[in-house]
A and B are shown apart, each in its own frame.
Chain A
Amino acid sequence: MATALRFPANVSTFNNYNDLHPDWTQREVSTGTTIMAVEFDGGVVIGADSRTTTGAYIANRVTDKLTPIHERIFCCRSGSAADTQAIADAVTYQLGFHSIELDEAPLVQTAASLFRDMCYRYREELMAGIIVAGWDRRRGGQVYTVPVGGMMTRQPVSVGGSGSSYIYGYVDSNYRTGMSKEECLKFTAEALTLAMERDGSSGGVVRLAVISEQGVERQAILGNQLPKFSTV
């Protein structure tokens, strides 16, 4: 619609703070972020850092970016905090409705498709990179990635967010098929730690969750308990 696209230049937005207020605290809230998900036989391990930034200010240093969508389906959120929270809320509603209609637990692929539909349809307005992961009876543990733009693809291991660029090498060289749950937890924690070390927009604590037929187990690794690497 023509009216919706015309933004008159003289309408002052709240971003026009004068010199009293540092500009870098006034940006939109972004989840900077490193997120990761790994499939193993019997479930998935998902992980995220805990830092939300507005410009250079850390708005929340203990964020939970692992958002439940259904009993055994989670999503890891990266990008704009507002956009991803709104999308996750909408998909939670749609999936819940679908599951009640079916009278059955929903498939992870269904959840991922719902995310993809929304992220692709509104791709110009949204800034959201999401990893959908969970367990269902038909295909076991699955990880689907829905990056910015609205593509969807299934991957055995997936990383996302601004910090992911620093750990592609680590993930590619250290991932093996057939890892156990404990190995996956260690792999995820170490990868996230390395990303948090190098990416300014990622930090805080490492949040992990294991999703399997038995349910969801969550844990947090605090700053002083993170795995240690070279201090050079």
Chain B
Amino acid sequence: MALSCVLEPALSGFNFDNSTRNIVLENGSEEGKIKAPKPMKTGTTIAGLVYKDGVVLGADTRATSDEVVADKKCAKIHYIAPNIYCCGAGTAADTEKTTDMLSSNLTIFSMNSGRNPRVIMAVNILQDMLFRYRGMIGAHLILGGVDCTGSHLYTVGPYGSMDKVPYLGMGSGKLPAMGILEDRFKANMDLEEAKALVSDAIHAGIMSDLGSGNNIDLCVITKEGWTISDLTESPL
């Protein structure tokens, strides 16, 4: 456990107060029923891979609400720590809040202990939290980072399962992205090859999946630091 935590979790069970309120609102009065707002999904293609000097993460930038594009320049690569970034697919609010809380907790840990956070620590904290909520938090995450033990890429699922992998695609566009990655991935690629492969994988997702589109964001993390770049694709 982190030495101290932001937002101490509730000690017993779930709190469904808001759901009771929602039922009352939905069943409504004689004037009219109030419909609960639909959660915004991030449709999404996200991908990551480990290359010779670090990790490359990529994501598209489309956020959908059913068939409408709600956000054309949505940022799906979230900051966790100077050396750790996280791509999120699933329910937009859940990935946003979960990664925010994780980032806050790791910052407190860094300040308390004087150490840089490790990727496996971020993974453990996420697993603990998502498992506790039994899949109700719709966050499918790819975490990548470089720490004192090396470069790592992990995926954490909404039920709290994790896998350590050299390359991965997630989101609704994961099938085309994985096709590209399975075909061209090699261990210890150099930077240009790795960036090209990730952006091609996201591109495949954008082309073949309706829920993914607009631009491609890339994030490269190495021992020295990180760079985020936008690859501008013409809107599709």
Residues of A in contact with B (beta carbons under 8 Å apart): 1, 3-4, 6, 8, 10-14, 17-18, 20-21, 25, 28-29, 52, 54, 57, 59-60, 62-63, 80-83, 85-86, 89, 125
Q: How far is the CB of B128 from chain A (nearest CB, A)?
A: 8
| A85 / chain B contacts, CB cutoff of 8 Å | 127, 160-162
Q: Are the C-beta atoms of B14 and A3 separated by less than 8 Å?
A: yes
Cβ–Cβ contact A17 & B163, under 8 A: no
Interface string of B4-45 (1 = CB under 8 A from A): 000000001111100110110010000000001011010100
Q: Are B13 and A13 within 8 A (Cβ)?
A: no
> Are the C-beta atoms of B211 and A21 separated by less than 8 Å?
yes
Please determine whether B161 and A81 come into contact, CB atoms closer than 8 angstroms.
Answer: yes
Q: How long is the Cα–Cα vector from A29 to B168 in the complex, in angstroms?
A: 15
B20 / chain A contacts, CB cutoff of 8 Å: 8
| A29, B159: Cβ atoms closer than 8 Å | yes
Interface residue SS majority, chain B: loop
How distant is B170 from chain A, measured CB to nearest CB, in Å? 9
Interface size on B, residues (CB 8 A): 43
Which A residues touch B121, using CB under 8 A?
none
> Assuming A25-B174, A81-B157, what are 5 further A-B pairs, CB within 8 angstroms?
A1-B13, A13-B138, A14-B158, A20-B211, A59-B155
What residues of chain A lie closer than 8 Å to B107, measured between beta carbons?
none
Sample 21 A-B pairs with CB under 8 A, ordered by A number: A1-B12, A1-B13, A4-B13, A6-B16, A13-B135, A13-B136, A14-B41, A14-B90, A14-B91, A14-B138, A14-B158, A20-B64, A20-B210, A25-B174, A25-B175, A29-B157, A59-B157, A63-B163, A82-B131, A82-B160, A83-B159
B233 within 8 A of A: no
Q: How many Å lie between the Cα of A81 and that of B218 in the bound state?
A: 30
Complex Cα gap A85–B26 (Å): 38
Q: How far is the CB of A110 from chain B (nearest CB, A)?
A: 24
- Central interface residue in A14, A21, A57, A85, by most chain B CB within 10 Å: A14
Measured CB to CB, the closest approach of chain B to A205, in angstroms, equals 14
Q: Is B209 an interface residue (CB 8 A)?
A: yes
- Taking a contact as CB atoms under 8 Å apart, the answer to whether B165 and A60 are in contact is yes
The residue of chain A having its C-beta at the shortest distance from the C-beta of B171 within the complex is A21
Known: A11-B19, A25-B174, A85-B127. A52 touches B163 (CB 8 A): yes
Across the interface, name the chain A residue whose C-beta is closest to B156. A82
How many Å lie between the Cα of A60 and that of B175 in the bound state?
13
- Interface set of B (CB-CB < 8 Å, partner A): 12-16, 19-20, 22-23, 26, 36, 38-39, 41, 43, 64, 66-67, 90-91, 94, 127, 130-131, 134-136, 138, 155, 157-163, 165, 172, 174-175, 209-211
In the complex, A11 Cα to B39 Cα: how many Å?
Answer: 10
B211 and A4 form a contact (CB under 8 A): no
Instruction: List A contacts of B157 (CB < 8 A).
Output: 28-29, 54, 59, 81-82
Chain B residues closer than 8 Å to A82, beta-carbon distance: 127, 130-131, 135, 157, 159-161
Pairwise interchain contact B165-A12, C-beta atoms closer than 8 A:
no
Q: Are B22 and A10 in contact (CB under 8 A)?
A: yes
Q: A21 CA to B208 CA in the complex, in Å?
A: 12
Flag if B163 contacts A59 (CB, 8 Å). Answer: yes
B residues within 8 A CB of A59?
155, 157, 163
Q: How far is the CA of A28 from the CA of B134 in the complex (A)?
A: 10
List, in ascending order, chain B residues with CB within 8 A of A11's CB. Answer: 19, 22
Residue of A nearest to B18 (CB): A11
A109 to B95, alpha carbons, bound, how many Å?
Answer: 41
- Give the docked Cα–Cα distance between A21 and B16 (Å): 28
Query: In the complex, A71 Cα to B174 Cα: how many Å?
Result: 37
Contacts of B16 in A (CB 8 A): 3-4, 6, 8
A8 touches B127 (CB 8 A): no
Chain A residues whose C-beta falls within 8 Å of the C-beta of B172 in the assembled complex: 17, 20-21
* Cα distance, A25 to B90, chains bound together (Å): 12
